[in-house]
Amino acid sequence: MGVVVESSVFWEPNPSTYIFIFVCCCFSIFLFPHVSNLNRTSTIFDHGTSHWFLRFQRNFLLHYSLASVMEGLWSVFGEYELASYGIGRENMVKSLCYGYTTALFAAPFLGVLSDLIGHKKVSLIFCILHFIVGVWKKISEPPSMFMTSICLSLANTIFSFSFETWMVTQHEKQGHRLDSLNDTYWLMTFFESACFIASQMFANWLIGNNTEKITAPSSAVIFFAAICFTFITRGWTENPGSASLKEYSRSLYAYILGDKRIWLLAWAQTCLHFSIGIFWILWAPTVVADGREVHLGLIYPCFLGSRMLGSTAFPCLTSGPSSLRTEDCLVFAYIILALLLSIVAYDYQEVGVLVILFCLFHACVGFVLPSLARLRTMYVPNELRGGMMGFSLAPANAAILLSVVQGGYYRNVGNAALMAFGVCGLLLAAGCMHALKQWGKQPYNNWHKQ
């Protein structure tokens, strides 16, 4: 999470770092049309792309960006906001436990509910939850930590799958080209990261130097929630599936629980969610270890900028003249992620080295996220996509909750050991991708034939 700390700072990123990441992102985007045209595939830069698809894609990305801004505004100040209400460390850990416990039980339910009643309705619930938290923080000071943690956890769970699942389902129903989904996948990661950075800038601008205005972002969230709710209500179309719960359960068992390839994909997703969750909990304590004073608020955009840059590598590696199979790329990406996290876990590093390692970590994450989305399209039926993603989130949330309780509350496990667990998870995910490559050749061939 982004955190604003005291003004007494001994280390902060060089301003040229932001320029370098920005230039690299622009270069990657401008290079992509030339790489893609060599392979003669349809892309967002291709003038032959359907006007209706471009309109559909831009409409979706607008809604997704608004949702990303709302998610980002709550994470800007993080522990600093809780501390301003006089909440101590132990209660902060309890707040995390409330959130992950809620997500643990709610993720499978919300995933199934999304498939049954429609992703549009569940996305509206996402807006309502943010609106409720925004209003609650304005009228109650300090707000209920229990209520806000639960509501934001539910909203974050919906954000993890509902928007993507709606987009994929409507993409198929409107008859757009299947391979054009690749562009939307990496643009989702790109826009989400960019909106998180914009959220940090906007929240800091709203508060300025007046810490008494810590609730100012709540007003912005209320506004964005109302706008997003209106846009979704008027701009989204959807015909929810007519399957009963019994029929859905049968399909879920046959296609999801009965297919070892989907099991492998789900475990790879679970391991990634777990390692990312561990990272966001531990990155700040790791950087400021041994009393090092660091401007964490300036490091946060570096991570997100790196993730933007990593997302631009996805179309170049998967759409170019020498495009690689997605599973092969993910095997190497997961191994690199594990290596980067293991260096941090087992070897003391200076702040500058840590930031570089963390930026490389997020660059790989930026590539992995759209790659997993592509594999979900290859292996998971759209009618069951929400349920599959919801069930894959549950074990990740359970593992993070256990880590928070043992490491943060009881302090039975050190930060290095928790990161080591994340490394093991990433290596397990690499093994899952290797096995998926061996067992899933036929669906991959079908993908290219469409």
pLDDT for 30 equals 74
pLDDT for 4 equals 40
Give the residue extent of every domain in the chain: 15-25+57-449
pLDDT for 201 equals 92
pLDDT for 231 equals 93
Give the least confident one: 203-217, 225-239, 340-354, 432-446. 432-446
- 81-136 pLDDT per residue, tens: 888 788 888 888 999 999 999 999 999 999 999 999 999 999 999 999 999 999 99
Closest CA to 163 of 195, 124, 197, 131: 124
pLDDT for 235 equals 81
- 323 pLDDT above the threshold of 70: no
pLDDT for 49 equals 56
- 132-152 pLDDT per residue, tens: 999 998 888 777 888 999 999
Give the least confident one: 208-217, 228-237, 373-382, 412-421. 208-217
* Res. 405 pLDDT band, cuts 50 70 90: very high
Q: Which residue did the predictor score with more confidence, 326 or 41?
A: 326
296 and 355 in contact (C-beta within 8 Å)? no
pLDDT for 445 equals 38
CA gap 432, 377 in Å, rounded: 17
Q: Which residue did the predictor score with more confidence, 41 or 135?
A: 135
CB atoms within 10 A of CB 23: 12
Q: Which two tokens stand for residue 360?
A: 């490389």
Q: Which residue did the predictor score with more confidence, 317 or 265?
A: 265
Give the DSSP per-residue string, 283-319. Answer: HHHHHTGGG--B-HHHHHHHHHHHHHHHHHHHHHHHH
Whether the bond into 142 is cis, omega within 30 of 0: yes
- 450 pLDDT above the threshold of 80: no
The mean pLDDT value for 405-414 works out to 90
- 396 pLDDT above the threshold of 60: yes
Whether the bond into 315 is cis, omega within 30 of 0: no
pLDDT for 33 equals 55
- 240 pLDDT above the threshold of 80: no
Q: Which two tokens stand for residue 53?
A: 């698809």
pLDDT for 359 equals 96
pLDDT for 79 equals 77
pLDDT for 6 equals 40
- 216 pLDDT above the threshold of 90: no
pLDDT for 116 equals 92
* Highest mean pLDDT out of 26-30, 33-37, 125-129: 125-129
Give the least confident one: 74-88, 90-104, 185-199, 284-298. 74-88
The mean pLDDT value for 280-293 works out to 89
* 15-25+57-449 belongs to CATH 1.20.1250.20: yes
CA gap 11, 39 in Å, rounded: 45
169 and 60 in contact (C-beta within 8 Å)? no
CA gap 320, 16 in Å, rounded: 30
Across the chain, what does the average pLDDT equal? Answer: 86
* Res. 440 pLDDT band, cuts 50 70 90: low
The mean pLDDT value for 151-165 works out to 96
pLDDT for 388 equals 94
The mean pLDDT value for 4-31 works out to 74
